[in-house]
Amino acid sequence: MKIAIRYFTKSKKGNTEKIAKFIEEKISVPAKDVSNPLEEEVEQLLLVNAMYAADIDKEIKNFLKANKDKIKLLININSSASGKSTLKAVKKVCDKENIKVSEKEFHTVASWIFINKGRPNEEDFARLETFLKEVVNQ
């Protein structure tokens, strides 16, 4: 099964990138930022993203539009300081582009300035590892 990991972060803390690199280590698939288009069709795209100003970043939207014909199933993995999931925003874009989105997602809070200090933490990564075992088909 062909799996790809793409992520986008503009945070100096790099929580989204940390999550993507953790997934890379666990499933042995390279995590690349969304400036790297998909080279071929993938059965599962693990999209690691975050909430910025109550929405997903335009870089995520542009990536999805540009790669829509190469994604059979998108699995949303996200974090935010506000605690709000990005699933609704990602699904909105994917619905327009006819990209199937898994109803299962991984979401955790993340630190930002003084909010949620130390997150994601070991417990969050343990939950992520369990989630990956449940949804990733290798």
Q: Which are the contacts of 114, defined by CB distance < 8 A and separation ≥ 6?
A: none
What is the per-residue pLDDT across 42-90, written as a single tens digit (0 to 9) for each? 999 999 998 877 788 999 999 999 999 999 999 999 887 777 889 999 9
Q: What is this structure's pTM?
A: 0.91
From the CB of residue 126, how many other CB atoms can be counted at a distance below 10 Å?
10
Q: Where are the domains of the chain?
A: 3-133
Would the pLDDT of 138 be above 60?
A: no
User: Can you name the CATH fold of 3-133?
Assistant: Rossmann fold (3.40.50)
What is the per-residue pLDDT across 3-55, written as a single tens digit (0 to 9) for each? 999 999 876 668 899 999 999 999 999 999 999 999 999 999 999 998 877 78
What per-residue confidence (pLDDT) applies to 53?
74
Burial class (CB in 10 A: 0-12, 13-18, 19+), 9: buried
Closest Cα to residue 7, out of 18, 20, 23?
Answer: 20
